[in-house]
Structure 1
Amino acid sequence: MIAHLAEKHQGLADDMVYDKREFACIVCGLVCARRETLRSHFVRKHTQHYGYSCEHCGKEFKIKGDLTTHTRLIHRESPVICDVCGKTCRNSHSLYTHQKHAHYKAKYECPLCHRRLVTQANLDQHVLTQHERKEKSVCEECGKTFFENYDLRKHMRIHTGDKPYSCTVCSRAFARHSSLSQHLLLHTGERIYVCDVCGKSFAQKAGLICHRKIHSGTLPPLPVIHIDHILKEFIKK
């Protein structure tokens, strides 16, 4: 039913899927910081509509960004030329990053602190979290503050030592689900994090972050890599 609403009645689905204050998924309870992140989560996890297929191998995806990542990593896109300045970029993602920072500057300015953001939604979220919310959740152990109780609960695992997420391959435990996901990438044998400067690849995001420090000058933001489909295929084996 929810999948049908998401595909056929988008406006109604928006009202059902999003909690306006916390961007919480009504199906599984996942809380996201941004509306766009929750929308992607909902489509990936709670619908069966595969609207994008790879022209090279036929593999289907629910999110266009996942198809773009798949094409870049598996089929190695050819270099793309920027139609604004003529610069040659390694792939479409590098082109997007280049144009975003070189030609399409953030134009939405916060009237309170003058920080500039790319979209109106980013600006609204910034004002809400940085300037309007007064009540904060405070960690009684170290005094660190959080806007959401959900974030405080995750933080408390640092003090309690609780590690509820265990690897099904080697039994290593983690405090965060995201840490477990990054760990599982080691078992897949794939190296999906690729340096956009020299092309060296890494199995984990942390490896790429450390590696990028050897390159001088201003570097573009880290690429967004969706790993859910990779882990899902690995778990099926």
Structure 2
Amino acid sequence: MSDLLDQVDPEPPHTKEEENLWTNQEGEQLQGLEELHQIHTTKKPFSCSVCKRHFVYKSKLKEHIIIHTGEKPFSCSVCNKGFVHEGNREQHMSVHTGEKPFRCSVCKKGFALKGNLKQHMSVHTGERPFSCSVCQKGFRRKSNLKGHMSVHSREKPFSCSVCQKGFALKSNLKKHTLTHTGMKSFSCSVCKKGFAQKGNLTKHMSVHTGEKPFSCPVCKKCFARKFEVKQHMPVHTREKPFCCPVCKKRFTLKGNLKQHMSVHTREKPFCCSICKKSFAQKRNLKKHMLSHTGKKASIH
């Protein structure tokens, strides 16, 4: 860092008023148009040798240089996390104190950091400023875009320590680990069924509400879940992308292939709760149950 600063000319003399003026530009609200005019007309003689950015004062250049050197001289007294600027450390402290001084003007949700509030605002505005250069999909956060790029590169850098399954996104790995812990923190208020992920609970609620917000663009058939539309589409295209590795029979839906496999494995996982008779396929169990109720099964 000292080598970079040695290249800077000595700082010209300036008044205390000028120093206060810079402080105003950095963070506080300006007190008038006259001050604003002075800032825009002030020369910036100190230039960063790395990125060529200019500064009015040498002290501000010195603070800026740290970005390029990778130094983090300000550390948190609680968790020892390092920061480039003292102001960032002060903001970080609210993580430990629980303070949330930055409040959303729309939904009143509080945030510990100003940057988090700024990111949150896109929820209300619908703005997605970060777009994928490959598929043009938009994202609210730069980090989400970065994670998404692995979808195209097919990289799966995050692997489960239990079963070694790989994931493109860290968030997906985090969700997956819940399948091993057995934790189901989210329960349905109607039927009390538990779910490991909040998203799955939200999807499940359509069972009770009867909502089917996703419709097929061809036949207009409605579905409760988005992936069900995707599964349904081969009905129209007549594609059969799922092939049995044993007999090579092809299927439109992955679920149908899965059920078919029991023909080869002889598994009968669907058991009647009344007479304990087992079936290879769920639909056969469903038909069988009618024999106990006395109703006639309608065969399609």
TM-score normalized by structure 2?
Answer: 0.34
Higher CA-based Rg: 2
TM-score normalized by structure 1?
Answer: 0.42
Higher relative CO (Cα under 8 Å, sequence separation at least 6) belongs to: 1
